[in-house]
Every structure is written in C-alpha cells, then in structure tokens.
Amino acid sequence: PLPQLLDDPHTAGRPRGYSILVRFSPQEVEKSGRLNKTKIAEGGRKLKKNWTTAWVVLAGNSLVFYRDPPASSPVLWGPARSRPESSVDLRGAALGTGRHLTSRRNVLHVRTVPGHEFLLQSDNEAEVRDWNAALRAVITRLERENPVELRLSGAGPAELSGGEEDDELEPSPERPPEWPEGRSRGSWRGPGEGRDRGRVRNKLKRLIAMRPPLRSLQERGLLRDQVFGCSLEALCQREGGTVPSFVRLCVAAVDKRGLDVDGIYRVSGNLAVIQKLRFLVDRERAVTSDGRYLFPEKAGQEARLDLDRDEWEDIHVVTGALKLFLRELPQPLIPGPLLPALREALGLPSSDRLAQIQQVLSSMPPTNRDTLRFLLEHLRRVVARADQNRMTPLNLGIVFGQTLLRPEQEAADPAAHALYPSQLVELLLTDFDSLFPDP
C-alpha cells in the first residue's frame, strides 16, 4: 500500500506539490522509531558523512525520514504537521551491515538501485536487529511482488518501458490481433517481438540489480584513474608502494618552499584552486575560471604533476589538497577500530601509555602505518621551524586530529572526543622516536 497524500490547508496558494503532507494508516506502517542516519552516496558518488537523528517510518515500499516526533493521531499516523525530509524507494534495494563504512556500532547499510546509500544506526543493538528484520522482510516482499525495475534518475515509467505498459501482452489466440486505432501496420508489434523485448528487458533488470556499487569498485581499485576517495590499500597496490605518490609530491613541495611559511597547514588555501588540483589528479573534468574545460591526456597524471608550476604557487593550496586527500579516504589513516585502545592509552602512566600506543600502531595495515610515519616525519620538520612558522606540536595536533582519526562513534561527550585526537597527534609528534623506532 502507498502512503496517503493530503493537502495542508495552511499552505493554500503555494506552488503545486508544496503543500503535500505524508500520512500513514497504522496498518501501513511496518516499523517506526528514532535512528541516527547519514547519506554516504548519491547516484553512486561518495558523500561526506553527516550524522543526524531522524524519526524513521517503514511503510509500503518506502523508508521515510522525518525530523519531528510522531503524531498521536490513530487515524492518519505520521509526524505531526510535518513533511518528510527525504524518502527511500526500497524496490530492488540491498541491505547489509555498515561495519566497513564507519567506526560506529550497530549500523545498517541500505543501497538503492539508483546508487543512493544510507547508514542507519542506534546504540540499542536489539532495536537495530528489529530494523534489520523489518527492512529485509519488506525488500524480500517487494522483490517477490514486483521485481526490480530499470530505474534511472529523471526517467519516468513511460520512458523506462518504451512508452507501453503492455509490451509483453500477447493477443488472445481465439482471434487475430486488431490494429490499434491511429497506428499504421508498420508500427504494430506482433507477439513474438513483444516476447523478445520482454526478454531483453528482464536481462537488463538482472544486470542492473547485480552491478556492484561505485564504492566497491573504488575500494578494489578497478577505477584506476581515481586518487581522491580511493582506499589507501588499493591506491598503494596500484602504484606499487606503501605511501601514495600524491602524498609524497605534496610533502616534497612543502619541504622545499613551505617550512618557513607562517601558519603552514593551519591557513586555508583557495578552495577553487584546491578543487582544480584535485580534479586534475583524479582525471575528472575540471572547469577553469574562464569556463574552459580541462581534460588530462593520459592516466597516471598525478605522477607527472609539477607542484612547482605557477598555478600552484600558493603553498596553502598544496597543503589544503593534502588535507583533503586524507579527509576523503574511505577509512581514516588511523583506522576506527583502533580508536578505543588509543583513547584508553592516553589515560595511562607515561611508560605504559607509550607501550600500548606502540602496540596499537604496529597492528595497523602496512600502508596506513608507513603513510602515517612518512607524514609524521614531515610534520616534525615543520615543528623544527616553529620559530618561523609558529606551528608547534599542539597546533599541528589541532589541525590534523580530526583528519587522521575521525572519532564518529563517541558522541556522548563531544568536547572530550574533539580533544583527544589532537592530544594523540601531539603525542605522536613529541614521542615519535619512541613510537617509531628505526627498523
């Protein structure tokens, strides 16, 4: 069943569609409740996580998100006088856990046919299990009742079915087909052609449903021209090293002409120029200030990138691009599962603290550990010029703490959890020799 749409009398005269409220009868609602949610992809393109709390309603073939609390009316159930913030069509959707996408616990990952992806989370494990069962039951029912359709952004039902709702219908064998009014004989399709078109369409449906999401292709390194947003392991494997080439290029540029610059890494560069550099490295279409399009000629553009050119003269553009690269890693440079042990170590006595942190660092994947070490060695050279650039370990800890750690899980005390990443980065810099002994 579909949700009931009502006109809001208080918005009379507004544009059509503005005054629509969504209401469900109690029989239509499979499950509802308050969850934390974030959208991580739209149309297959990765988005930055932005967790919010929402009232979530599972009804019909949709998952609907509201901001307001529910109404008490038993007649038309739904958030009181509220419009949904967004909704998700669950036909053809895939459901899984989100353990590999966030450090939060009790997370569900919903992926739709158009390439939209959501994470749903609650601190109550039993509640998430109930949501998992309810969502899986609805998705299974929808697939049984109405197998996944070929759905593309901006395409309506007529466009997706070739303008006909009865392409696969055959005329009754008791009488020959009649020519539809207004159609010539050449435009009429016989029963065999209808079957062929239906067969092709069903194959397309299966291919669309089986195609892997963009994120998995990126993490497996199959999209070989991407640097920003690619998993660290896949990128390093592609390049044949343990530290990404782009990180080495940026560090070399800062070592050459940025160590004495006041506020290096703290001062922001021009965002438009940073994005231009990012698009150039990723071999995506970049638009210049005068509207021209740039198309890098070959793959591996980042390997030939010259950061000493005049267009990258502002060293803050280079540092901004490096920080952007680190922020857009699918998993932070210091993996989320290690954060509880690192946070616990900060409260230990000095000798025990360093021993536990060193043990945690040694358990990191080689690419993460080597890249972190390479970056910290560079930042220590920045600290050595603190008299000129005013960037002490404390200041660099503030700049890089949230970028390297991203403590999303622990929201009970935001102030404390905003503080300990910077403390940890500061400690990594001051006790580098003890934590990263020479091999």
Q: What is the pTM of this model?
A: 0.51
pLDDT value at position 167? 35
Ordered alpha helix ranges (H), 229-349: 232-239, 245-257, 271-282, 315-327, 339-346
Paired tokens of 425:
């980065």
Instruction: For the chain, list the domains and their CATH numbers.
Output: 4-145 (2.30.29.30), 159-210 (no CATH), 232-435 (1.10.555.10)
Can you give the pLDDT at residue 45? 80
The Cα-based distances of 184 to 171, 180, 190, 358 in angstroms read 17, 8, 13, 80
- Nearest to residue 399, comparing CAs of 246, 227, 263? 263
- Could you list the pLDDT tens digit for every one of the 439 residues in the chain? 444 444 333 333 333 333 334 455 555 678 888 999 999 988 778 888 889 999 998 988 888 888 765 554 433 444 444 567 788 888 888 898 888 888 899 999 999 887 889 999 999 999 999 999 999 998 888 887 766 544 333 333 333 333 333 333 333 344 444 444 444 444 445 555 556 667 777 777 667 666 666 556 545 544 444 788 888 998 898 888 999 999 999 999 999 999 999 999 999 999 899 988 988 887 644 444 444 434 444 444 444 678 988 989 999 999 999 999 999 998 899 998 888 899 889 888 887 899 999 999 999 999 999 999 999 999 999 999 999 999 999 999 999 998 998 765 444 555 556 678 899 999 999 999 989 887 6
Question: Could you tell me the two tokens for 404?
Answer: 């390297």
* Phi, psi (rounded to 5 degrees) for 83: -100, 150
Structure tokens at 86: 């967004």
Give the DSSP H/E element, type plus range, for residue 97.
strand 94-97
Per-residue buried b or exposed e for 154-166, using 16+ beta carbons within 10 Å of the residue's own CB: eeeeeeebeeeee
User: Which one-letter amino acid corresponds to residue 111?
Assistant: R
Determine the pLDDT at residue 351: 78
Enter the tokens of residue 139: 């998705």
- Give the DSSP H or E segment for 214: helix 214-219
What pLDDT, on a 0 to 100 scale, did the predictor assign at position 288?
Answer: 41
Give the tokens for residue 384.
Answer: 């050595």
The pLDDT of residue 390:
94
Which of 100, 129, 143 shows the shortest CA–CA distance to 33? 129
Contact (CB, 8 A) for 397 and 271 = no
